[in-house]
Structure 1
Amino acid sequence: MLPETEERKVEQRMKKPLFQSQSEPPVPKKDLTPPFSFESIFRGPWSSSWTVKFSDAVACSFADSIGGPFPVTSHRCHHKQKYCPPVLPGGGLPATPLLFHPHTKGSQILMDLSHKAVKRQASFCNAITFSNRPVLIYEQVRLKITKKQCCWSGALRLGFTSKDPSRIHPDSLPKYACPDLVSQSGFWAKALPEEFANEGNIIAFWVDKKGRVFYRINDSAAMLFFNGVRTADPLWALVDVYGLTRGVQLLGECPLPLAP
């Protein structure tokens, strides 16, 4: 048998936990009995200044599910709507006949009552005219030379403008389409070669969607006249009854050529 003192020491050692060091204090158990704080769970060392609360998240989710998605601020475009020039694919005719503009014309222009024929009454200039409406892409402007005056040089000037003739004051028109008018923005024109300015000739000219202007004399093949016309805006025909050419007449429409 062990002495009484030794027996007491053994009993005291057996009463202590088997795996606890004598130098470490006992670890208290963490109480996770509900209700516990979700804030303490979401908070970490990275979120010292930002904490997600479970109650806030639930409240936002509930509001969204009731009210639906938040409305998005609509974006209103203030840009001017782009003009798309009308194009007839072929075989069609414009809705209204092409005539000369009745009011915006040079000081030397005389016009008949039908607005289809014009004549320069004197001199060799101040005879700029325009069409009464915008022309279509590929629409042929057909003119017949009705009068030729041999004492002058130069001939008919043909082209287009993006300026509405109704908003042009006749007194503001220069003497010449070339170079005076074409030096201004929105005007394009070129002189017809003198050899084509014979009395009785029929000249047709038109613009394509690329801004190229073509012309033909009578039944000849189409020839490139000039390019660089801005087709993003409406275009009116421009005719300067200049020099050798003293009178012209607008002819009836013909079916538009097939657009390439």
Structure 2
Amino acid sequence: MSCSLCPTDAEVPREAREALSFHGDATGTQVHLDDQRSTAHRLSTFHDGIVFSQRPVWPGERVALRVLRQEDGWCGGLRVGFTRLDPANVAASCLPPFVCPDLEEQSPTWAALLPEGFVRAGNVVCFWVNRRGWLYAKVNAGRPLLLRKDVLVQGAPLWAVMDVYGTTKAIELLGETILGVPMYGMETEFQLASQS
């Protein structure tokens, strides 16, 4: 008996087939979005760079982005994850300066810092959560890294959340997402040690 780990087209809501862009209103105070809402650029400082997807993301759906620009002089970089916080109900002025730990403490949000090698200009980063609630990321054609295991995927929609933080100055959502099969069996082999 076989079991499908990937949702079929019939199971995927219509909005999950829509290309991803950034939510146009719920952004950190230092974020500038381009007219297509595909590029997020942090104007100054190293914080206040929170951005959300414009629609919920399905478990197993890969969110792909390109790091466009880095800025020296800061520590840390891009954070990625998922939230149950609907950005349509968030006033930009109410967003905290950081996704980790501030937004995580204020709402059901699960995010993680990407390793420094992931956030170099030109790199393509994909991140996703599987049906077990395990958050993964990978860069270019590299191996997936398990970032955390505690995302609540049942009971409410999840939006992608990114924090254009620290050395990461600008990112571009690559629009089309990929519905993929969670990589069971390889999950523990590529775990990322927890970082503070």
Counting matched residue pairs gives 173
For 1:135 and 1:114, the matched residues in 2 are separated by: 19
Residue number among 148, 160, 164 corresponding to 1:241 in the alignment: 164
Contact 2:21 2:175 in 1 (8 A): no
Where do 1:12-31 residues align within 5 Å? none
Compute the TM-score of the two structures, normalised by the length of structure 2.
0.83
1:139 aligns with 2:58: no
For 1:254 and 1:179, the matched residues in 2 are separated by: 27
For 2:178 and 2:54, the matched residues in 1 are separated by: 19
Deviations 1:14-72 (A, max 9, x none): xxxxxxxxxxxxxxxxxxxxxxxxxxxxxxxxxxxxxxxxxxxxxxxxxxxxxxxxxxx
For 1:186 and 1:255, the matched residues in 2 are separated by: 24
The aligned counterpart of 1:223 is: 145
The structure-2 alpha-carbon separation of the partners of 1:103 and 1:185, relative to structure 1 and needing over 3 Å to count, comes to closer
For 1:253 and 1:200, the matched residues in 2 are separated by: 18
Structure number, greater radius of gyration: 1
The structure-2 alpha-carbon separation of the partners of 1:241 and 1:184, relative to structure 1 and needing over 3 Å to count, comes to same
The aligned counterpart of 1:195 is: 117
Query: What's the CA shift for 1:218?
Result: 0.3
The structure-2 alpha-carbon separation of the partners of 1:155 and 1:183, relative to structure 1 and needing over 3 Å to count, comes to same
Structure 1: 5+ residue stretches without partners: 1-86
Q: CA RMSD in A?
A: 1.7
For 1:150 and 1:255, the matched residues in 2 are separated by: 32
Contact 1:134 1:234 in 2 (8 A): yes
Choose between structure 1 and 2: higher strand proportion.
2
Contact 2:63 2:177 in 1 (8 A): no
Compute the TM-score of the two structures, normalised by the length of structure 1.
0.63
The aligned counterpart of 1:103 is: 25
For 2:107 and 2:97, the matched residues in 1 are separated by: 17
SS in 1 for 2:101: helix
Where do 1:1-260 residues align within 5 Å? 88-89=7-8, 94-232=16-154, 233-259=156-182
Contact 1:88 1:136 in 2 (8 A): no
Choose between structure 1 and 2: higher helix proportion.
1
For 1:253 and 1:105, the matched residues in 2 are separated by: 21
What is the identity, as a one-letter code, of the residue corresponding to 2:7?
A: L
For 1:135 and 1:150, the matched residues in 2 are separated by: 32
Structure 2: 5+ residue stretches without partners: 1-5, 185-196
The structure-2 alpha-carbon separation of the partners of 1:203 and 1:107, relative to structure 1 and needing over 3 Å to count, comes to same
The structure-2 alpha-carbon separation of the partners of 1:254 and 1:133, relative to structure 1 and needing over 3 Å to count, comes to closer
**Which protein has greater RCO, CA pairs closer than 8 Å, 6+ apart?**
2
The structure-2 alpha-carbon separation of the partners of 1:255 and 1:236, relative to structure 1 and needing over 3 Å to count, comes to closer
Contact 1:89 1:256 in 2 (8 A): no
For 1:167 and 1:250, the matched residues in 2 are separated by: 22
What is the identity, as a one-letter code, of the residue corresponding to 2:159?
A: W
- Identity percentage of aligned residues: 36
